[in-house]
Structure 1
Amino acid sequence: MRVARPAVLGGVRGMSQTTMQTCDSRCMHEQVQRPTLPAIVPCALVYLDYAAAASPNCRSADPSTYIRQAACLNRSLLAAGMPRLNVYTNAPDAVAAEWAALPDAAARPAVHLLTTTRSDLPKNTPFYAAHFKLDLMMQVAQTLPPDALFLLLDTDMVAMRGLDAALVARSARLGAGVFDISDQVFPAYGSERVIADLERVAGGPLVNPRWYGGEFLLCTQAFLALLVEQGRACFGRYLAAVRHLHHHGDEAFISAALCLLAQAGHAFVEVGAYQAVGRHWPGNTHRNLYWFSRCAFVHLPGSKSLIEREARRDKFDPACVWRALVWRHRLGRARAALKPFVRMATLPAWRRLLAPARRTGETKLEAAKRDISGNA
C-alpha cells in the first residue's frame, strides 16, 4: 500500500524546488505586508433592577441570571481565543459577589460601573434593562482606543469559535459590522407595522428600512461616536412614543439610528451573511442546524437555561453545548409538529364542555324572542 507524502505549502504538491522557493518567498512577503488586525474589546450589559419588567424571553424572575450568563459568555470567549469580556453594570458589588465563587479568576469578566442616564424610562417597558445599552455605548465611546474595535454582545450567547480575520478587517475598514435580521422580524410582525415604528423613531421616512439585532455590533470608535449621537436623538423620539409603539427595546432606536446613518452614506458589513452570529430558537425553521454550526457566535434567547447550566461547569466545552442545542432543536421541531394534532384532539373536548352553556344561551334567546312577539 502506498503512503501519501505529507502536503507541502498548504496542500500543494508536485512542485519543483525552484517553484517552492519562489512561492515561499512570496508567502513571506505577504505576511510582512498584511496589516495587523485591530484589538477587539468585547462588552456586555448586566443591568439589575428587581422592580422593572423582566425580558419577555426570560422565564426566570431573578435578574441575577444575567450575571451567570455573562460568566458563561466570558468562558466561551476565552476558549475561542478571544479577549476577556467587559461587563458594564449598575450593581458592580452584586456582580462581583456572584462571581467570587468562581474558582478560576480568569473566568471572571472585567467589571465596570455603568453611568446611567435613562431614569425617565417607565419601569414596565418590555426589555427595560436592554435600553441601557445606549449608556454603555456612550461610556465606551469615550474610552475606546482609536485603533480598537468595540464588540457589543448579549449575555445569552456563546462563542463557538473566533471571528473570521477577513470579516474583522472589513468591519474596521468600513467602520462597522451589524447583524441585519429584517428577514426574521418583518415576516413575523408585518413589514408595515415594523417600518411604521422605525420611521416614527427615526423622525421621518426611511429609504431602506432595516431591523438590526441588538446581540452583535462590531465597530470602530469613530463609528460608535456617530451611532451614539444618532441613537440619543432616536431614543428621545422613542421615549415620546413608547406607549404607541409595537416594538420595544434597544433594537428599535438603534435600528432607526443605523438606518439614518446608512441613509447618510455610511456603509456597514452585514455580519450574518458571514456567519459571524446566528440567532437560534429551539425548533425554528428559519435556518437549518448546519448553518448555525458554522457560526462564530450563537445567540440563544430561547435557551437561557442551557447557558445557565453551562455556567456551572468549570470549563466551556463547545461540543457539549452543541449537542444540547441539537437536542433542544429536535425537541422543539417535534413539539411544533404535534401542535396542530393536539389542537384538533382537544377541540371536540372543548365543544363538549361548552355545549350546556351554549344550549342554555340558545334557550334563553328563543324565550326572549317569544316574549317580544307576544308583547307585540
Structure 2
Amino acid sequence: MKLFPCTLVYVDADANPGANSTNRDPLSYVNQAICLNNSLRRVGMPTLTIMTNAPVLVAGRLASIAPEKRPALTTLTATIDLPKETPFYAAHFKLALMDQLAATLPADTMLLLLDADMVAMLPLDRDLIERCALAGIGAFDISDQVFPAYGSERVVADLEIVANRRLRNPRWYGGEFLLATPAALRRLVPRARASYASYLRESPRLRHHGDEAFVSAALNVLVDEGQSLIEVGAYQAVGRHWAGNNYRDVRWFRCCSFVHLPGGKALLEKEARFGDFVPERFWRRLRVAHLRGRVRHALKRIARCLSVERIATWSACAMRSVKS
C-alpha cells in the first residue's frame, strides 16, 4: 500500500486559536507543516499534502520554498458548520477532510492523517503498514494518558454520550495520527458524522471537546461492529511529548516514527526556518525545552504545597480564635 501523508490547516482569523497555541498568526500551522514535511523527506516518506480552506493564503506562505521541498496543497471543501467559539474549532474540520479523501483516494493508497505539530524521526515500519492495511485502520490509543488525567468514569461517559450507545470497551484515540484505507474511511465517516451530530447536540454536558471526542466515539462504534483496528502506539509509531512531563523518558521518543509536540509548536516553527530537518538539532532543542518544563512543573508543585500550607495555618489560627 502507498501512503498519503496529509495535515489539516484550517484558517479562520475570527475563530479561537487552538488551546495549545500561543502564536496568533493564523498561518502558524503552515510553518509547522513545513517542518513536518522536511522531516518526512529526510526519512524517505512521501511529500506531505496540506489540505486547507485558504489555498491562496497558504500558497503565499509556501512561495519562498523550493518546489522540490514544498508541501503539496489541496483545497478543502468544508462540509460542517459550528460556532467559532468552539474549543479546538479548526480541528473539527478533520471530519470534512476524511469525507473528501474517502471519495478521492485510490484503492491502493492509505490515508496517513497527521497533526501539523509533529515530526517524523523514522520511517513507518512496513510490517505495521501491512497490518493496518489488512485491518483497515491504525489508530493511536491514548486511554492510558486520558483516563487517569480526567477520571475514567467521566471519559467513558463522554464517549458514550457522543456515541449515543453503550460501548463494550471504550477507548480514547489521539487525533494526531490516523492510518486508514479508503474502504475503512468510507465506513468511518458516516459513524463520525453521526457522533458529530450527538457531540454538537450534547456539547454543554461534555467535559471533552474537539475532534478526538467524536472520532474516538466513531472508532469505538466501528470496533463494536466488528471493525479490526491496530493500536499503533504499541509499535512506537507515534509518541505524544509534553515538555517537562515525566510520563515517558525522553529517550523513549527517539525510537518513535513520529513525535507529536502539542506544547512545542514554537520549537517546530523555529525548525521550519531551516531548509532541512536535522534530528540532532531538534533533539538538542527538545531537551532544553524539556528541562525548562521540568523546572516549571517543580515550581508549580512548590507553589501548591506552600499554598496548602498557608491555608492549613490560616485554618488552624481561625479555629483557635473561634475557641478562644
TM-score of the aligned structures, taking structure 1 as reference length:
0.81
Q: How does 1:5-154 map to 2 (within 5 A)?
A: 38-102=1-65, 104-119=66-81, 121-154=82-115
CA–CA distance in structure 2, aligned partners of residues 50 and 166 of structure 1: 42
Q: How does 1:201-240 map to 2 (within 5 A)?
A: 201-240=162-201
**What's the offset of the Cα at 1:348?**
8.5
Query: Could you say what secondary structure the match of 1:261 adopts?
Result: helix
Question: Residue 38 of structure 2 contacts residue 275 of structure 2 at CA under 8 Å; is this kept in 1?
Answer: no
Question: Residue 52 of structure 2 contacts residue 76 of structure 2 at CA under 8 Å; is this kept in 1?
Answer: yes
CA–CA distance in structure 2, aligned partners of residues 97 and 123 of structure 1: 25
Q: State the match for 1:320 in structure 2.
A: 281
Which residue type is aligned with residue 268 of structure 2?
Answer: I
Query: Could you say what secondary structure the match of 2:4 adopts?
Result: strand
- Cα 1:348–1:285 change in 2 (3 A) is closer
**What's the offset of the Cα at 1:336?**
1.6
Which residue type is aligned with residue 65 of structure 1?
Answer: S
1:332 aligns with 2:285: no
CA–CA distance in structure 1, aligned partners of residues 76 and 106 of structure 2: 19
Relative contact order, CA 8 A, sep 6+: which one is greater? 2
CA–CA distance in structure 1, aligned partners of residues 87 and 167 of structure 2: 25
The alignment's C-alpha RMSD in Å is: 2.1
Task: Structure 2 unaligned segments of length 5 or more: list them.
Answer: 319-324
CA–CA distance in structure 1, aligned partners of residues 256 and 94 of structure 2: 24
1:285 aligns with 2:246: yes
Query: Could you say what secondary structure the match of 2:127 adopts?
Result: helix
Which residue type is aligned with residue 324 of structure 1?
Answer: R
Q: How does 1:337-348 map to 2 (within 5 A)?
A: 337-344=298-305
- Cα 1:83–1:342 change in 2 (3 A) is same
Q: Deviations over 1:109-160 (max 9, x none)?
A: 11111101112x1110000000000000000111111111110000000001
CA–CA distance in structure 1, aligned partners of residues 42 and 90 of structure 2: 28
**What's the offset of the Cα at 1:266?**
1.2
- Cα 1:348–1:288 change in 2 (3 A) is closer
1:302 aligns with 2:266: no
**What's the offset of the Cα at 1:244?**
2.1
Q: Deviations over 1:220-261 (max 9, x none)?
A: 111111111111111111111122211111100000000001
**What's the offset of the Cα at 1:305?**
0.5
Q: How does 1:181-260 map to 2 (within 5 A)?
A: 181-260=142-221
Query: Could you say what secondary structure the match of 2:226 adopts?
Result: coil
Task: Structure 1 unaligned segments of length 5 or more: list them.
Answer: 1-37, 360-376
Which residue type is aligned with residue 70 of structure 2?
Answer: R
CA–CA distance in structure 2, aligned partners of residues 51 and 312 of structure 1: 27
Equivalent residue pairs, number:
319
CA–CA distance in structure 1, aligned partners of residues 198 and 286 of structure 2: 39
- Cα 1:346–1:156 change in 2 (3 A) is same
CA–CA distance in structure 1, aligned partners of residues 19 and 3 of structure 2: 30
Choose 1 or 2 for highest CA Rg: 1
Query: Identity over the aligned pairs, expressed in percent?
Result: 55
